[in-house]
Structure 1
Amino acid sequence: VFEEEHHILYLDHGGVIVAIKDTSIPLKILKFSIDEGQTWSTHNFTSTSVFVDGLLSEPGDETLVMTVFGHISYRSDWELVKVDFRPSFPRECTDEDYESWDLTNLQGDRCIMGQQRSFRKRKISSWCIKGKSFTSALTSKVCECVNTDFLCDYGFERSAPLKSESSKCFADFWFNPEAPPEDCVLGQAYTSSTGYRKVVSNVCEGGVDLQQNLAHHMCPLIAPKGLQISIREESLAVRPGEDITFIVRQEQGDVLSTKYQVDLGDGFKAIYVNLTMTGEPIRHRYENPGIYRVSVKAENVAGHDEAVVFVQVNSPLQALNLEVVPVIGRNQEVNLTAIILPKNPNLTVFYWWIGNNLQPLLTLESFLVTKFAETGDVRVTVQVSCGSSMLQDSKVVHVFDHFHVLPLKFTKHLDMYNPDIPEWREDIGRVVTRLLAKETSIPEETLMTVVKPGLPTVADLHVLLPANQPKKKRSITSDKRIAAIKQALNAHNISFFLRGGYWVLVTLADSGSDSQRIGGGSGYWAIVVLFVICLVSVGAFILYKFKRQ
């Protein structure tokens, strides 16, 4: 009716329709219609334009009084304008002012949802008030059923209609109309669908009945199908000694004549009857860590079904330590090892982050072998996940091109007090490094002692090369430092006091061997030797040519 949006209000049971434009500009004119919107009249409801926010009517559908609410300006208070249409109507409506009206659909059918209904409405030519006593309904008559009162039943679809006949409902390829329902119990009867069902809330009677001639069948013995095992807390990882509740469900099949064989994986086995009907859970407790295979087998004369779930029982993680050599050569293999307590074999997942890489490496083993292609400090982080517990540890690895390694040994008294834990090894390494730096006047930051796990107690002394010196001068300085360290160790000047009254002496593991040099320092000399060989070859070739001439 209108091209723009309007506020609409119905008065006197729809006898008057009021419309005001929904706009951001102030208005003082409204439109109204008394002939169901066929024609519209205008009315000045105020002498001052108002920004209209909405329309209100008095309680009751019979009223002809309405209120326009809005404001004169954006800063003003609310303005309420009451409009009374009662003076516009000279009288109350009588029976001669109404005519009957039949409800039809778009196709013109008078029977809708199985009944034919007639209403009365005011004649367009009548100018009167309907009032409180007005009722619109006249008569209601139940219709006979026709084909359009039925829809295709579940599992059926309507085929494309032919020219000579209307469309029919046929079963889908996946649906078997004669299959018994899921709740069918042996000894009871069920009916199979003809493919049609009456529309919900349709009240038609007699006439066409597309649901007639239903086939009746006896419920057969159905094999169990859709057997499922679930855990009430929905956690497949529990701690030793913790209660766990299994729930068994069955989607299809007979229940009364079915036996359920339950195996909880730790030696507990039992046979139940009516397990899924009673809904009684199975409570159990695993005492030892491990992975347990829980199975339930449902079986009757018609067939069987089985469901399996794996339960992980493990103790929560208590401690994690990442062991890695703190100093390593570039492109040299290094072993990253995670020590966890307690040990849960085959139950723990290790996540490894190397450097700033956000994508971790996953392993089921507690170690990872890798290489570092660039020099500098690289942070290595390991995260251990076992069941619902999770721990994380991180260490920094110093990657160098060149450094020296001196193997060290200790007097046997230290082995008696070696608990073989990472913290103790780190403490011993710091003590040895501090003593060597003090004895030889070598900067402590260029020395690092790493005590190895196990017995007997041995260690490696890493001698780092100064970074801010020329290569040739660094080599000379390194040789002097190695000599000073060997002299201090061979002179038995490095020792520390151990509880129990023992002095622990630190010496070279093999006093006659040289230090091991790690890194790519020999590459320079290899290039020089290769250049000399090429030069000699070219000279020999020229001399050979000269002699032939």
Structure 2
Amino acid sequence: IYVSIDLGKKWNLLQERVSKDHFFWAVAGVDGDLDLVHMEIQDPTGGYRYITCQIQNCSDKTMTVPFAGSTDRDSLTVQDDYIFLQTTSANRTKYYVSYRRNGFVQMKLPKYALPKDLQIISTDENQVFVAVQEWYQTDTYNLYQSDPQGVYYSILLENVRSTKQPEENVLIDILEVRGVKGVFLANQKIDGKVTTLITYNKGRDWDFLNPPDIDMNGKPTNCKPPDCYLHLHLRWADNPYVSGTVHTKDTAPGLIMGAGNLGSQLVEYKEEMYITSDCGNTWRQVFEEEHHILYLDHGGVIVAIKDTSIPLKILKFSIDEGQTWSTHNFTSTSVFVDGLLSEPGDETLVMTVFGHISYRSDWELVKVDFRPSFPRECTDEDYESWELTNLQGDRCIMGQQRSFRKRKISSWCIKGKSFTSALTSKVCECVNTDFLCDYGFERSAPLKSESSKCFADFWFNPEAPPEDCVLGQAYTSSTGYRKVVSNVCEGGVDLQQNLAHHMCPLIAPKGLQISIREESLAVRPGEDITFIVQQEQGDVLSTKYQVDLGDGFKAIYVNLTMTGEPIRHRYENPGIYRVSVKAENVAGHDEAVVFVQVNSPLQALNLEVVPVIGRNQEVNLTAIILPKNPNLTVFYWWIGNNLQPLLTLESFLVTKFAETGDVRVTVQVSCGSSMLQDSKVVHVFDNFHVLPLKFTKHLDMYNPDIPEWREDIGRVVTRLLAKETSIPEETLMTVVKPGLPTAADLHVLLPANQPKRKRSITSDKVTSAM
């Protein structure tokens, strides 16, 4: 990654091996230093780490590592007050969050969610929305909402549809409606059916979209709940210069335009266009086909161009929130429209249509200026107010009554740069719907039922002290409810009252774990190894940690798991070392153990086999390895074409061959992180004789006792014996045995159709050719 501080005139290397799309500028108001850069980098061992450094001085000496240990690739996300990352070990992924740059804390989802994936949806208004794909889900995610710190999560909506995109990206079918805080649209998929839901209170309650009574032609739709609703496509546009299928804007509160259909479920190929100007309460159909949408002048002008593959020269626009539409010829020559752009500023009335006259031509840009169409700027008399309500007609939403202003339908004027949509807000008294279930609790009835209550999940004990409870401090046990974050209601119902206060007891350590930062339990002699000790529960201030690294090193630590200080060590000699950590305080103790293999890498492997054996005769297959590592080596044996190996901890295997012919024997030897393989062919016969051969002691002086020498001597002896005896060389095979004194066996192979003779072959022939 390179950085420039002079508007791109000069670029300097900031850091190497940075993960694509996982580096972030400092966040104003959160990071103390605005020249800080957050990065995920690959370290020399192949793992990934989260680091920060300044753009003026970024080196190994100046960078900081806010998270101890390696992280998963492409997991770092810096967004507003929060930093997210994840780690995976033993096929279990843990998700961590840092709030306002404090220490990282593991995110607390329901115990048995067992997430396969987690996507950050929103970090607006001091809380986190996440979509979690749980262990039983394939194409859906569950939506969760956090407390302000982003640590404890409660479920909002199950089975939100997801779509896999190129490069392993995942799109979650949920959309935050801009302009009105707390409003979201989501597509839920149950039993293959996709339906669209809307919430006005950040997911506490969800409802279907009310269908319009008539279509764009004034005919009855005959769409009646609960069998028929309006459903919208919420996917994002592939083209960044078109609006996508649902369009909202911060300066046009309540105005939502999207493509979808009426019915019992969303139909993929139906893309009729619908619009609402009261934030989803009432909808109108405006087009029968999907259009690209652009809002101008704070939504005072809506521009629509048909989404089609044929060239166009006409656009449509509306100045009355889509109730009526006018047409405009933006060019004399039809063009293939690629996208729409507006000039900077929400108040602009100038837009650009760009596209191609033909697929081989350059871009054509057509500027459209709506300013001459408006005779004046709006005054206060040109506006009227509207109140935000949910589908039940409640005006108190998120703890307040909110009213907005919009231009009157009859007014033909420009809103301009000074326009503001927010008008008034009034705080409401709290009611039950201002609260949702706290972490560890779930509702006993559907969310829309007023009588539904929150009950503790079977795995959760509300009275238990939190994991970070410190002796002498106080904690409160949850009543099962918490107010929706950013809800501003006051007085009235308080489901969080009567909280029970407790003093933190002395808790025995529990869930003690010891792991290796490099995640490899096998190292080489003299190689650095880093141990990380973690504790899930229990007091840490009064706990002593007795560490035994198995090679004579022993030590006692205090606050070991609180400080996160790693234990670095180096084993000089090969062996198996039992590493243990015992945590103990007055209330109890816990222990964690890990076995570390220290061995030199394998250098050589030779498979020793008798090349000629009899059918159903026991044979010893032997693997010779260097260096020898007793009790640390695993041998995998493949016989013939069998895909399933035989495993042994010894360097030999005794077996039989039931069929005659050539059989390939393969052995793989695994020791720590190194692995070698060797393979030989065994000839299996029914008829053959074995004659022992002796050599003079003089030959021992030249015997290095290695496989290559034995093979060469065997070939020489076979060739000489064939010449001396006139026996065909292909029926002889000499196998020199390992070790001293030098000895060998001569295998005389008999043709399959030759009868066995009662007399034995004599061995009184002496040759001095050697």
TM-score, normalized by length of structure 2? 0.57
- After TM superposition, the structure 1 stretch with the greater mean CA deviation from structure 2, 275-284 or 212-221, is 275-284
Are 1:377 and 1:399, in contact at CA under 8 Å, matched by a contact in 2? Answer: yes
Offset at residue 257 of structure 1 (A): 1.8
Could you give the per-residue CA deviations for residues 42-61 of structure 1, whole angstroms, max 9, x where no partner exists?
33344443333333333333
CA distance, structure 2, for counterparts of residue 85 and residue 232 of structure 1:
62
- After TM superposition, the structure 1 stretch with the greater mean CA deviation from structure 2, 66-75 or 441-450, is 66-75
- After TM superposition, the structure 1 stretch with the greater mean CA deviation from structure 2, 37-46 or 12-21, is 37-46
Could you give the per-residue CA deviations for residues 168-195 of structure 1, whole angstroms, max 9, x where no partner exists?
2222222111211111111111111122
Are 1:465 and 1:474, in contact at CA under 8 Å, matched by a contact in 2? Answer: no
C-alpha distance 472-220 of structure 1, shift in aligned 2 (>3 A):
closer
Offset at residue 163 of structure 1 (A): 13
Are 2:687 and 2:752, in contact at CA under 8 Å, matched by a contact in 1? Answer: no
The correspondence of residues 87-486 of structure 1 with structure 2, limited to 5 A, is 87-160=372-445, 166-414=451-699, 420-465=705-750
Offset at residue 86 of structure 1 (A): 3.4
% same residue: 99
Offset at residue 143 of structure 1 (A): 2.3
Are 1:161 and 1:168, in contact at CA under 8 Å, matched by a contact in 2? Answer: no
Does the alignment pair 1:62 with 2:333?
no
Offset at residue 21 of structure 1 (A): 1.3
CA distance, structure 1, for counterparts of residue 685 and residue 449 of structure 2:
91
Could you give the per-residue CA deviations for residues 269-309 of structure 1, whole angstroms, max 9, x where no partner exists?
44333332343433444444332222222111111111111
C-alpha distance 137-248 of structure 1, shift in aligned 2 (>3 A):
closer
Give the gaps of 5 or more residues in structure 1. Answer: 480-548
Could you give the per-residue CA deviations for residues 63-121 of structure 1, whole angstroms, max 9, x where no partner exists?
33333333334444443444333343333323222212222222222222222222221
C-alpha distance 302-85 of structure 1, shift in aligned 2 (>3 A):
same
Q: Which has the higher contact order (CA 8 A, sep 6+)?
A: 1
Offset at residue 360 of structure 1 (A): 2.2
Could you give the per-residue CA deviations for residues 360-397 of structure 1, whole angstroms, max 9, x where no partner exists?
22211211122333333322221111112222222222
CA distance, structure 2, for counterparts of residue 367 and residue 324 of structure 1:
10
Report the structure number with the largest CA radius of gyration.
Answer: 1
C-alpha distance 70-282 of structure 1, shift in aligned 2 (>3 A):
closer
Offset at residue 220 of structure 1 (A): 0.6
C-alpha distance 207-454 of structure 1, shift in aligned 2 (>3 A):
same
CA distance, structure 1, for counterparts of residue 560 and residue 323 of structure 2:
70
CA distance, structure 2, for counterparts of residue 442 and residue 158 of structure 1:
91
C-alpha distance 475-153 of structure 1, shift in aligned 2 (>3 A):
same
Could you give the per-residue CA deviations for residues 375-422 of structure 1, whole angstroms, max 9, x where no partner exists?
333222211111122222222222233222222223444456655443
- After TM superposition, the structure 1 stretch with the greater mean CA deviation from structure 2, 207-216 or 41-50, is 41-50
C-alpha distance 151-423 of structure 1, shift in aligned 2 (>3 A):
same
- After TM superposition, the structure 1 stretch with the greater mean CA deviation from structure 2, 339-348 or 371-380, is 371-380
CA distance, structure 2, for counterparts of residue 166 and residue 472 of structure 1:
99
Could you give the per-residue CA deviations for residues 505-546 of structure 1, whole angstroms, max 9, x where no partner exists?
xxxxxxxxxxxxxxxxxxxxxxxxxxxxxxxxxxxxxxxxxx
Offset at residue 455 of structure 1 (A): 4.8
Tell me the SS of whatever aligns to 1:206: strand
Tell me the SS of whatever aligns to 1:470: coil
CA distance, structure 2, for counterparts of residue 238 and residue 50 of structure 1:
66
C-alpha distance 453-50 of structure 1, shift in aligned 2 (>3 A):
closer
CA distance, structure 2, for counterparts of residue 336 and residue 375 of structure 1:
17
C-alpha distance 449-45 of structure 1, shift in aligned 2 (>3 A):
closer
Are 2:517 and 2:532, in contact at CA under 8 Å, matched by a contact in 1? Answer: yes
CA distance, structure 2, for counterparts of residue 36 and residue 214 of structure 1:
49
Offset at residue 320 of structure 1 (A): 1.8
CA distance, structure 1, for counterparts of residue 447 and residue 712 of structure 2:
93
C-alpha distance 387-207 of structure 1, shift in aligned 2 (>3 A):
same
Instruction: Give aligned pairs, total.
Output: 480
C-alpha distance 110-325 of structure 1, shift in aligned 2 (>3 A):
same
Judging by fraction of residues, say which structure has more helix.
1
Could you give the per-residue CA deviations for residues 194-247 of structure 1, whole angstroms, max 9, x where no partner exists?
221111111222232222222211111100001111123322122334443333
Offset at residue 441 of structure 1 (A): 3.0
Give the gaps of 5 or more residues in structure 2. Answer: 1-285, 765-769
Offset at residue 477 of structure 1 (A): 15
Are 2:402 and 2:424, in contact at CA under 8 Å, matched by a contact in 1? Answer: yes
Offset at residue 5 of structure 1 (A): 1.0
CA distance, structure 1, for counterparts of residue 488 and residue 523 of structure 2:
58
Are 1:466 and 1:474, in contact at CA under 8 Å, matched by a contact in 2? Answer: no
C-alpha distance 27-279 of structure 1, shift in aligned 2 (>3 A):
closer
Could you give the per-residue CA deviations for residues 340-364 of structure 1, whole angstroms, max 9, x where no partner exists?
2232222111111223333322211
Tell me the SS of whatever aligns to 1:472: coil
CA distance, structure 1, for counterparts of residue 721 and residue 446 of structure 2:
100
